[in-house]
Amino acid sequence: MQKQYDVIIAGGGLAGLTLSIQLKKANPNISILIMEYRDTIAPIAAHKVGESTVELATHYFREVLELKDYLEEFELPKHGLRFFFNDGSKEELSNRVELGPRLKLPVPSHQLDRGTFENFLEKHTKTFGTEFMLGARVKDVIFSSEGHEVVYNHDGEEKRLKAKWVVDATSRFSLLKRKLKFEKKAPHDVNAVWYRVKGVVDIDEWSDNEKWKTFLAPKLRYLSTVHLIDKGYWLWIIPLGSKNTSIGIVADQDIHPFDTINTYEKAVAWIKKNEPQAYKHVCPPENELLDFRILRHFAHDSERIYSSERWAVTGEAGVFLDPFYSPGSDFISLNNTWLSDLILRDISGEDITVRAQIYEQTHLRWFESWLPIYQDKYKLMGSSQIMVMKIFWDWAIYWSVPCLLFTNKGFTDLKVLKELFVSEDSIGRKFQMLNKRMQDLFLEWLPYENKVFENKYIDPLDLGYLKQFQQGIENQHSTKELLDRVKSNVKMLEQVAAEVFRLVSNEVKGTPIDMKVNPYTITLNGTVDTTSENALPVDDSIAMDVAKMWFYKTELV
């Protein structure tokens, strides 16, 4: 091994491996060393959580890293996210309100067996010339403008190597966070436990209802990331390419305390009580488990991400929010895209001071703006009407802006970032304000909404605007076209927000179903702007779409 590298990556998991491939594909001459503390290949059973990908990360893996062929041959295709809500008994899956796509989604995604995938990525990055050191635990980094010195233990000895750049990909060990003291708590107290069971768990086999079983093509439910949800929790069922199945409980600490699920015995008792039908299918004897893992208060923030002094963090060494919409790989994709751009520019001799500051602020603000999607929202999970509206809203904002920006390289285009996020009245700031208003509305609505629904199927692609957003993710645009598309999408989101509010306010407060609404003022607990020039009239097309996810009957007044 050489004595000084361009980049040393501490941590050989998903974040560090994908970063190395991204860098090598862009510049094969960059010298990279990955230092991984485990001393064997990654276990096929679940050493880590995070098997389910969604559209942004899928584009990163398939198109940016060019792993499409591998994913299609060795990992399972994914048929979207699928949700089943409380029907009062949770004894018969076909009786529960079901939300998910009936047909294949236009933009693909995958279920990843993390052990298999990471072992492949290790071999793959080595083909580009990346060096990989197993059994190396990084202890410290001594920073210097002449080259940082990495202090590590290997083969029972303390050793040192130098690198121009040092990247912390040590996951929750968070080497640089602890050293430089930029830890920051996230106000989202949710815990998780998960395990792998041998063999296939196909939820179509849970019911004898033939009409329900044949409503979707064979195996489409099986290939979904399944969420069984009720107040304060969701239970996941995820198929893996190894023909095994991942099972997990994610629960709000205030509603389902960690000490009620933190052993397998307790988790089984909890599932038997809260998901009695699932208990019959996903709780084998403990000696048949492939593994069992726990993670307490998993959400965490950070005060720093990137430095022009040639250090950075990526993956869970930086920030992590919540697995509900499978965003973990999305954050890695964004993180690595900003970071690889900085490293490549720096290696080529460019001054990255301004870019490092912009990328870091954009990253941290994005985390902050995404927090309201999850914070305090587990208490909504017992209401199927609120959750259907919320899930469709959350998908709309995800597909319409961040996915579109990512696939069009907008997050590293300073003109795009300046136009969208710099000024106080920028479209990006409006987007964040609009989302916050909607997330607050869902919480305000909860005291009024307690009806239990059953026997309904809700398909996101039945809604024209959602289908348009999803289909448009991978369309390529010039910078001007991209900005115009984002602005157009936000205007559509404003109409959706206004229409959702009309229905909710009519049901709760008896206000006119056709009143004008300024979407940036919506609230059930105060004054709403219905008269200014910013108040939007009903858009018939959007109103028809939103009505498809409204369970109550509403008449025009």
Give the range among 122-126, 225-229, 421-425 with minimum mean pLDDT. 421-425
Between 2 and 535, residue with greater pLDDT? 535
What is d(CA 516, CA 533) in angstroms, rounded to the nearest whole number?
10
Helices 479-509 and 464-471 meet at what angle, rounded to 10? Answer: 150
248-258 b/e with 16+ CB inside 10 Å = b?
bbbbbbeebeb
Secondary structure of 56-106 as H, E, C letters: HHHHHHHHHCCCHHHHHHHCEECCCEEEECCCCCCCCHHHCCEECCCCCCC
- Other Cβ atoms closer than 10 A to 127: 9
Pick from 459, 464, 470, 452: which is nearest to 496 by CA? 464
Query: How much is the CA Rg of the chain, to the nearest whole Å?
Result: 24
Residue 148 has pLDDT above 90, yes or no: yes
Q: Give me the mean pLDDT over the 44-54 stretch.
A: 65
With a CB cutoff of 8 Å and minimum separation 6, the contacts of 297 are 189, 190, 191, 253
**pLDDT (average), residues 120-135:** 97
Structure tokens at 431: 């987007």
How confident is the model at residue 43, as a pLDDT? 67
Confidence of residue 49 (pLDDT cuts 50, 70, 90): low
- The reported pLDDT for the residue numbered 3 is 73
Mean pLDDT to the nearest integer, 177-189: 96
pLDDT band at 377 (very low <50, low <70, confident <90, very high): very high
With 0-12 / 13-18 / 19 or more C-beta atoms within 10 angstroms meaning exposed / middle / buried, residue 40 is exposed
CB 243 within 8 A of CB 200: yes
Whose CA is closest to 75, among 90, 58, 89?
58
Which residues fall within 8 angstroms of residue 337, CB to CB, at 6 or more apart? 22, 60, 64, 406, 411, 412
Q: What one-character DSSP code corresponds to residue 198? A: S
- Per cent of the chain over pLDDT 70 is 97
> Residue 19 corresponds to which tokens in the numbers above?
């970063």
Asked whether the predicted pLDDT for residue 158 surpasses 50, the reply is: yes
Q: Which letter, b or e, does each residue of 130-158 get, where b requires 16 or more Cβ atoms within 10 Å of its Cβ?
A: bbbbeebbbeebeeeeebbbbebebeeee
Residue 82: the pLDDT is 97
The total of other beta-carbon atoms located within 10 Å of residue 428's CB is 23
Question: In angstroms, rounded to a whole number, what is the distance separating the alpha carbons of residues 53 and 133?
Answer: 28
Q: For the ranges 100-114, 263-277, 401-415, 432-446, which has the lowest average pLDDT?
A: 100-114
Q: 33 forms bridges with which residues in the sheet?
A: 8, 131
Residue 147: pLDDT over 80: yes
Q: Which of 246, 238, 241, 198 is nearest to 222 (CA)?
A: 238
pLDDT at site 557: 41
Can you tell me the mean pLDDT for 537-545? Answer: 97
Tell me the pLDDT of the chain averaged across its residues: 94
**What would the mean pLDDT of 113-130 be, rounded to a whole number?**
94
Angle between helices 464-471 and 384-400 (to 10 degrees): 40
Residue percentage of the chain with pLDDT more than 90: 90
Residue 15 has phi, psi (to 5 degrees) of: -65, -50
* 77 Cα distance to chain centroid: 17
Q: Phi/psi of residue 280, each to 5°?
A: -70, -15
CB within 8 Å of 528: residues ≥ 6 apart: 501, 505, 517, 518, 521, 522
Q: State residue 47's pLDDT score.
A: 46
- Is the separation of the CB atoms in 143 and 158 below 8 Å? no
Provide the pLDDT confidence category of residue 50 given band limits of 50, 70 and 90. low
Q: Tokens 């050493």 belong to which residue? A: 47
pLDDT tens figures, 286-327: 999 999 999 999 999 999 999 999 999 999 999 999 999 989
